Chain A
Amino acid sequence: MAKTLFEKIWDAHKVDEIDGRSLIYIDRHMVHEVTSPQAFDGLRINKRKVRRPDLTFATMDHNVPTTNRSLPIVDQISATQIKTLEKNCQEFGIPLFGLDSPYQGIVHVIGPELGITLPGTTIVCGDSHTSTHGAFGAFALGIGTSDVEHVLATQCLVLDKPKTFEIKVNGKRKNTHAITAKDIILSIIKKIGTAGGNGTVLEYRGQAISDLSMDERMTMCNMSIEGGARAGLVAPDQKTFDYLKNRKYTPKNYDDLVENWKNTLKTDDGSKFDKSFTIDASQIIPQVSWGTNPAMTTDVTESVPEPAEFARGDSSQETAAKNALQYMDLKSGTPITDIKIDRVFIGSCTNARLQDLVEAASVIQGRKASPNVRVMVVPGSQQVKKKAEEMGLDKIFKDANFEWRESGCSMCLGMNPDILSRGERCASTSNRNFEGRQGAGGRTHLVSPIMAAAAAIAGHFVDVREWV
């Protein structure tokens, strides 16, 4: 019987069925400092071990300052949480890429970078953006701390089988620099809504997806959760196999594995998806979010919408849009390119990989950040930082008065020292524009790295297609 890629991975990992749910074997478990302490406490209380420390990998990213690493962490509660992860990894024998490691970084950046993420595998992490790893044809999903404890103890997870949702992105982008994977995924979420993918695994398919680099596919899969999906995935191809070759944890029999994957890890012709959505990449232009969830997004050439126009007859959506405009301090009818910004954040598990930084740097061309705008560039990992510095990107950023910082989650989530002040407006390459996400009272506009860099220079949003 013809099967989708997701169904193949699911079937290959099903250990048992219990009361209508499946017990799924987990190949890789990524752990970070924020969602793991209570899980380790649970293991200790119940005198359990980590079943497969060799399949478990830890780093610290959410909480860490992105300033000079040789200085101590000022916030004592953060310092304790970081220290706790170190102690837990030591006690349970889990490899840790700590603050002094050349491999430290955002958990979803380092997994692929180290070859921990592999096609056809199941991957979990106590973080909703685990969907990122789906770019390699893995079934990767975010879980909470109780489930983290369950996976640490058993290497399995009890799951209801998600439905399948085909997202077909046909055609070609008209400008492969100005129009990015971020614009494609925001365009999709704008249409399907924040709960459109609820209970499903998205499979991104079509010409425009094949055309994307691995860094770009990770941006797409990363934001699957913003459309409500459990996971997102892209079938692996030669780009995937080339990317993972000779990484730190790439298996020794890699070439044999690739031969096998080429034959098996794809959606069979004639397979049926539970849902399907099609979008034409040639019609997509740069996107900017104006509201307080990622579906509240529009084309850069548009204006801030009227709540009623946005809601299309849904009274609850209309109220939500009104509240969003109030929170964002925006008026309907204001052209997006008239919105002035105070801050720019280029970083996060969505957009802090090498290609993101290359694209951001490409629009600088000797110009400087607008004097009214503070700009932070936060590479996703120490490896990304090193490679970017080898290319001289750090110099380009610094010459333009963009801050070049150490790797971590930084201003994506408002839990480390990198936060917005109340009322500040930020062009951000992160994934969530929720109220207070980047700091209480902060206002977030989601954009691609190249749009963020251009906005930093102009001091307001610009249609970057006019620049590149």
Chain B
Amino acid sequence: MGKVIKYEKDNIDTDVILPGQYLKLHDYDEIAKHAMEGIDPNFHSKVQKGDFLVAGRNFGCGSSREHAPIALSQCGIKGVIAVTFARIFYRNAVDGGFLLPIEVDEDTYKKISDGDQIEVDITQNQIKNLTKNQTYTMKPFSEIVAKIIAAGGLFKYKPD
């Protein structure tokens, strides 16, 4: 179970998720302190382990910096729920084993509110909103993405 931190925005880009000046940092905890600093300097202190970030279309567009999913994950974000993702961000999130990139339809995106408590069951492709007593369907992961996620990242994944 985790709380929702929602930004009603499309095109939340990697420069907002982790501004360029912090790409010099090597230490994950230091990187995490600056997560989402571009739109919410207090983000880091809001997050508790297991929380979910909810946003609109094309989340993570822009740079290939893996620091972006690292920053979110290291803060405690378990997954990002968005209408669509930019592809490099999606890959980085999965391949590095950092967080769950969960795609939902526009309707579901609108129903989930900031502060809601939710549970995500990726085996059933279900999101349960405990605050509103609603259940939503997430877009299923492709077969290989599901396997890489289950393994904990690309390097831990072994093909059958």
Interface residues of A (CB under 8 A from B): 18-21, 34-35, 37-38, 42, 46, 62-63, 75, 77-78, 80-81, 84, 126-128, 130, 142-147, 149-150, 158, 160, 194-195, 198-199, 225, 228, 230, 293, 316-317, 319-320, 323, 413-415, 419, 432, 434-437, 439-440
Contacts and interface: CB of A to CB of B under 8 A. Distances in A.
B159 A316 contact: no
A147 B66 CA distance: 10
B26 A38 contact: yes
A202 to B, nearest CB: 13
B11 A35 contact: no
Interface in B15-73: 15-16, 19-26, 38-39, 56-58, 61-66, 69
28 contacts: A35-B66, A38-B66, A42-B155, A63-B24, A128-B62, A128-B64, A130-B64, A142-B88, A144-B65, A144-B96, A146-B66, A147-B92, A147-B154, A150-B95, A158-B144, A195-B11, A225-B62, A228-B87, A293-B61, A316-B10, A319-B8, A320-B10, A320-B11, A323-B9, A414-B15, A415-B22, A432-B15, A437-B15
* B interface SS class: loop
Contacts of A126: 64, 66
A143 B64 CA distance: 6
B128 interface: no
B128 to A, nearest CB: 26
B66 A437 contact: no
B69 to A, nearest CB: 8
A432 B23 contact: no
B143 A147 contact: no
Interface of B: 8-11, 13, 15-16, 19-26, 38-39, 56-58, 61-66, 69, 84, 86-88, 91-92, 95-96, 142-144, 147, 153-155, 159-160
A432 to B, nearest CB: 6
Contact of B143 (A19, A437, A440): A19
A149 B149 CA distance: 18
Nearest to A48: B155
A320 B91 CA distance: 26
Contacts of A128: 62-64, 88
A317 B9 CA distance: 9
B86 A228 contact: yes
A127 B64 contact: yes
Contact of A146 (B38, B62, B92, B142): B92
A37 B28 CA distance: 12
Given A144-B95, A144-B96, A146-B155, A77 B66 contact: no
Contact of B91 (A143, A419, A440): A143
Contacts of A147: 91-92, 95, 154
A85 to B, nearest CB: 12
A126 B38 CA distance: 22
B95 A19 contact: no
B84 A195 contact: yes
Contacts of A293: 11, 13, 61
Contacts of A323: 9
A320 B13 CA distance: 13
A323 B12 CA distance: 12
Contacts of A160: 142
Contacts of B63: 127-128, 413
Contacts of B88: 128, 142-144
Question: Which 8 pairs between the two chains have the least Cβ-Cβ distance?
Answer: A144-B92, A415-B20, A144-B66, A19-B144, A145-B66, A142-B64, A146-B96, A195-B58
